[in-house]
Amino acid sequence: MSKNPLLEEFTGFDNCVPLDQIQPGHFLPAAKLAIDEAKRNIETIKNNPDTPTFENTIEALEFSSEKLSPIMETFGNLLHANATDEIQSLAPELFGLHASFASDISLDSKLFERVKAVYDSKPKLGIEESRLLKNSYKSFTRNGALLSENKKEKIRTIDQRLSQLSPEFSEKVIKATSEFELIVENKRDVEGIPESAVESAKELATAKKAPDKWIFNLEMPSYIPFLTYSPSRELREKMWMAYASRCLGGKYDTTQIIQEIVSLKHERAEILGYETHAHYVLEERMAKTPEKVESFLNELIEVSRPAAERDLKKVTEVMKEETSSDDMKPWDFAYYQEKLKKKTFDFDSEELRPYFSLDKVVSGAFELAEKLYGLSFSEMSDIPTYHPDVKVYKVTQKNSGEYVSLFYTDFFPRATKKTGAWMTQFREQGTRGGKKLRPHVSIVCNFTKPTQSKPSLLSFMEVRTLFHEFGHALHGMLSDCKYPSLASPNVYWDFVELPSQFMENWIKEREVLDTFAHHYETGETIPEDLFKKLRASDQFLTGYSSLRQLNFGVLDMAWHGKKNVNISSVEDFEKEATKRTSLLPKTPGTANSPAFSHIFGGGYSAGYYSYKWAEVLEADAFEYFKENGLFNDKVAQDFKNHVLSRGGTEEPMDLYTRFRGREPDPKALLRRDGLI
For the stretch 242-253, pLDDT in tens is: 999 999 999 999
Do the first three CATH levels of 255-350+542-610 and 354-538 match, i.e. the same topology? yes
The kind and range of the H/E element at 306 are helix 290-323
CATH: 1.20.1050.40, 3.30.310.80, 1.10.10.60, 3.50.50.60. Which one for 13-106+108-146? Answer: 1.20.1050.40
| β-strands 214-217, 403-410 pairing | unpaired
pLDDT tens for residues 119-130? 999 999 999 999
In which band, very low, low, confident or very high, does the pLDDT at 200 lie, cut at 50, 70 and 90?
very high
Residue 566, pLDDT score: 76
Distance CA 161, CA 154 (A): 11
Average pLDDT over residues 583-612: 95
> Looking at residues 309-336, what average pLDDT do you find?
97
What superfamily in CATH does domain 255-350+542-610 come from? Neurolysin, domain 3 (1.10.1370.10)
- Average pLDDT value for residue range 194-206: 94
Per-residue pLDDT at 134 exceeds 70: yes
How many Cβ atoms sit within 10 Å of the Cβ of residue 49? Answer: 4
Dihedral, 180, 222, 345, 361 alpha carbons, nearest 10? 140
* pTM of this structure: 0.93
Please indicate whether residue 402 is annotated as part of the active site. Answer: no
Q: Which of 469, 504, 571, 574 is catalytic?
A: 469
Q: What confidence tens digit (pLDDT) does each residue in 377-401 have?
A: 999 999 999 999 999 999 999 999 9
Q: Is a pLDDT exceeding 90 seen at residue 496?
A: yes
Backbone angles phi, psi at 134, to 5 degrees: -60, -45
Query: Is residue 279 exposed (0-12), middle (13-18) or buried (19+ Cβ within 10 Å)?
Result: buried
3-class DSSP state of 104: helix
Q: Using the CB atoms, write b or e for 423-447: b if 16+ within 10 Å.
A: bbbbbbbbbeeeeebbbbbbbbbbb
Pairing of strands 214-217, 375-380: unpaired
At the top level of CATH, the class of 354-538 is mainly alpha
Residue 1 has pLDDT above 50, yes or no: no
509-519: per-residue pLDDT in tens? 999 999 999 99
- Show me where the domains of the chain are located: 13-106+108-146, 180-244, 255-350+542-610, 354-538
- Can you tell me the mean pLDDT for 494-513? 96
Q: What is the mean pLDDT of residues 430-449?
A: 93
Q: What is the mean pLDDT of residues 147-172?
A: 95
Distance between CA atoms of 30 and 530, rounded to whole angstroms? Answer: 55
Q: How many percent of the chain have pLDDT more than 70? A: 100
The confidence band for 2, taking pLDDT boundaries of 50, 70 and 90, is: low
